[in-house]
Amino acid sequence: MTGYDVAVLGGGAAGLMAAIAAGQRGRRVVVLERSDRVGRKILISGGGRCNFTNLHAAPDRYLSANPAFCISALARYTPADFIDLVVRHGIAYHEKELGQLFCDGSARQIVDLLLAECRAAGVAVHTGSRISAVDRRTGGGFDVVLEGSAVESGVVVVATGGLSVPKMGATGFGYQVARSFGHRVVPTRAGLVPLTLGEPEATLFGDLAGVSLPVAVRCGPGAFGGGLLFTHRGISGPPVLQVSSHWEPGAFIDLDLAPGRDVAAALRAARDRQPQAPLSSGLAGLLPARLARRLAEEVFGNRPLRQYRAADLTAIGDRLGTWRVRPMGTEGYRTAEVTLGGVDTRELSSSTMESTLAPGLYFTGEVVDVTGHLGGYNFQWAWASGHAAGTAV
Q: What pLDDT shows up at residue 1?
A: 57
**Does one domain contain both 379 and 284?**
no
Of 331, 347, 366, the residue that ends a domain is 331
Cα distances from 314 to residues 131, 218, 265, 311, 387, in angstroms, run 62, 21, 8, 5, 54
**Does one domain contain both 222 and 323?**
yes
**Does one domain contain both 344 and 218?**
no
Query: Residue 107 sits in a domain of what CATH number?
Result: 3.50.50.60
**Does one domain contain both 215 and 301?**
yes
**Does one domain contain both 176 and 70?**
yes
pTM of the model: 0.95
Cα distances from 49 to residues 53, 168, 216, in angstroms, run 12, 17, 27
Of 307, 331, 355, the residue that ends a domain is 331
The model's pLDDT over 173-231, given as tens digits with 9 standing for 90+, comes to: 999 999 999 999 999 999 999 999 998 999 999 899 999 999 999 999 999 999 999 99
**Does one domain contain both 97 and 64?**
yes
Say which residues have a Cβ less than 8 Å from residue 58's Cβ, sequence separation at least 6: 74
Q: Report strand pairing: 361-363 vs 142-146.
A: unpaired
d(CA 346, CA 385): 15
What is the average per-residue pLDDT within 264-276?
97
Say which residues have a Cβ less than 8 Å from residue 170's Cβ, sequence separation at least 6: 161, 162, 163, 164, 333, 339
The total domain count for the chain is 2
What is the dihedral angle through the alpha carbons of 39, 125, 380, 338, rounded to the nearest 10 degrees? Answer: 50
Of 315, 331, 347, the residue that ends a domain is 331
- Are the C-beta atoms of 254 and 321 separated by less than 8 Å? no
- Give the range of the structural domain holding residue 262, as residue numbers without chain letter: 194-331
**Does one domain contain both 59 and 162?**
yes
**Does one domain contain both 302 and 276?**
yes
Query: Residue 219 sits in a domain of what CATH number?
Result: 2.40.30.10
Cis check for the bond before 200: say yes or no (omega within 30 of 0): yes
**Does one domain contain both 110 and 253?**
no
In this prediction, residue 2 has a pLDDT band, given cuts at 50, 70 and 90, of: low
**Does one domain contain both 209 and 313?**
yes
Q: What pLDDT shows up at residue 6?
A: 98
Q: What is the CA radius of gyration of the chain?
A: 25
Per DSSP, the chain holds a count of helices (H) and strands (E) of 13, 21
The model's pLDDT over 32-75, given as tens digits with 9 standing for 90+, comes to: 999 999 999 999 999 999 999 999 999 999 999 999 999 999 99
**Does one domain contain both 162 and 15?**
yes
Say which residues have a Cβ less than 8 Å from residue 80's Cβ, sequence separation at least 6: none
**Does one domain contain both 369 and 280?**
no
